Structure 1
């Protein structure tokens, strides 16, 4: 879990000029842009013999942090053709993230990692998704020192910052919001998966 912020673009084959934002109300034209972007990323990774890996970060112990594991489980259940790390059964979180990263490097050929995590934003951003090039910083909202992860990343904005202690959002996040975001992100990935 981290707070919403923009990341500097790195030098990858498929640059994302600016973060792509979408939500439940995003129109078909905007959805097509994201789907095309993901298809291009998958296609170029295949050409470069890079394994696309989904790293779904979070814990199933808190609703506010369960977005990643929910998406990981949905991807596996729907037969996504790429390796998935982080599910409800086997979540990837602060205590095992470094081991998961080692395992990804060990078991996958020159992996291209797409990381997915829950995020905090403004009240108006709740329910939005950000897709961007470059890594995300998991645990940032809780001031945890974790490695940056991903060549690309999805952030689902599950709640907003307020005067409560920073960890309080974990208990105040609505499951309905998390489920909507999980289904939305999963569907975009499945619609873009060239191997299906």
Structure 2
């Protein structure tokens, strides 16, 4: 966790030097437990008083139907934004509960074969469930709330600790 906090601190500092505004884009829907990771994190980040902009909360989620509008809003309301996207993801059974952080855009809805725009300069993925023989929509319904909450708290803590230590 310490290495990830250090990496985020560096990203925040470089963004400030380049006069880029850091924006967190938390993707998902509160209508399915497995897809609620992003909006949970967005709400937790706002409650923490983070110094960066946050799009996608439990009250106003960013999901497949409004993602393009949200992206336009981000670019309209933020000067040269550096977008860090956050979304739930599916992995292997052994990966459930892991957090991935990578440079480059996130492809939301990929596991469910949705065609959505790639988003973010960096991205977090929380592995909330795994692929198995059930129909795709079943993954979102069979995800444990405990797993989603644990990941949401962990990712929020990483981001808040990175922001507070500036």
Q: Is the 8 A contact 1:42 1:194 kept in 2?
A: no
Normalising by structure 2, we get a TM-score of 0.98
Taking the TM superposition and a 5 Å limit, the aligned residue runs for 1:169-188 are 169-188=139-158
The alpha-carbon deviation at position 194 of structure 1 amounts to 4.8
Structure with the higher fraction of residues in helix conformation: 2
Out of 45, 50, 54, which is 1:75 matched to?
A: 45
Q: Is the 8 A contact 1:43 1:194 kept in 2?
A: no
Query: Which blocks of at least 5 consecutive residues in structure 1 are unaligned?
Result: 1-30
Q: Which residue of 1 aligns with 2:125?
A: 155
Q: Which residue of 2 aligns with 1:12?
A: none
**Is the counterpart of residue 122 in structure 1 residue 122 in structure 2?**
no
Structure 1 CA distance, aligned partners of 2:111 and 2:136?
7
Out of 146, 157, 162, which is 1:192 matched to?
A: 162
Query: Which blocks of at least 5 consecutive residues in structure 2 are unaligned?
Result: none
Structure 1 CA distance, aligned partners of 2:112 and 2:101?
21
Deviations 1:98-118 (A, max 9, x none): 000000000000000000000
Structure 1 CA distance, aligned partners of 2:33 and 2:104?
26
4+ runs deviating over 3 angstroms:
none
**Is the counterpart of residue 144 in structure 1 residue 114 in structure 2?**
yes
SS at match of 1:193: helix
